[in-house]
Amino acid sequence: MTDAAIELEAEPQRHVGYLIRRAQQLHVAAWTRIASSEISSVQYTILAVLDRLGEASQRELCDEADLDRSTIADLVARMERRGLIARRPDPDDARRKAVTLTDAGRSERARLRPLVDEVQEALVASMSPEERRALRTGLHALLDQGDSLRSRGSLRIEPEG
């Protein structure tokens, strides 16, 4: 779509934020239909990060998953209640809680992994390989810009609510 064609689109459809929100709604619907109605994609992110790292503090999970502290605290508590993760005091730092996957969490991660790939494919099925690359490149550029603004203090991202 050309810049001129974008300018002719009605509001709010021509705005990137509107399109991102709609894309997120599409992702949530596909996730719920294909992957899980019990485990959210954010919870899956925590499972994947812990699978990769082995163990992490809640602060490290915040950084790895790009979540805020209040969100991660609630998320970790819910996942612990479901038996997917375990928290224990760090023997070297009493203020730190080490978070790890349980056997149930590892099994759930393994079960969901191919379904996550199906969600990905469902979202981009109608796109050519070039369009898929362009989408990922554009989203990475947008997020990099946001990271840059945050690091300079020009942007503060609050949890939705």
pLDDT tens-place string over residues 78-129: 999 999 999 998 777 878 889 999 999 999 999 999 999 999 999 999 999 9
Residue 67 neighbours by CB under 8 Å, 6+ apart: 42, 61, 75
Q: How confident is the model at residue 2 (pLDDT cuts 50, 70, 90)?
A: low
What's the token pair of residue 43?
Answer: 């919870």
**pLDDT, tens digit, for every residue of 6-41?**
565 676 676 888 999 999 999 999 999 999 999 999
Helix, strand or coil for residue 70?
helix
Measure CA of the first residue to CA of the last residue in the chain; give whole Å. Answer: 33
Is the per-residue pLDDT at 158 higher than 80? no
pLDDT of residue 30: 97
What is the distance between the alpha carbons of residues 134 and 20, in angstroms, rounded to a whole number?
A: 15
Residue 50 neighbours by CB under 8 Å, 6+ apart: 56, 61, 85, 99, 100, 101, 105
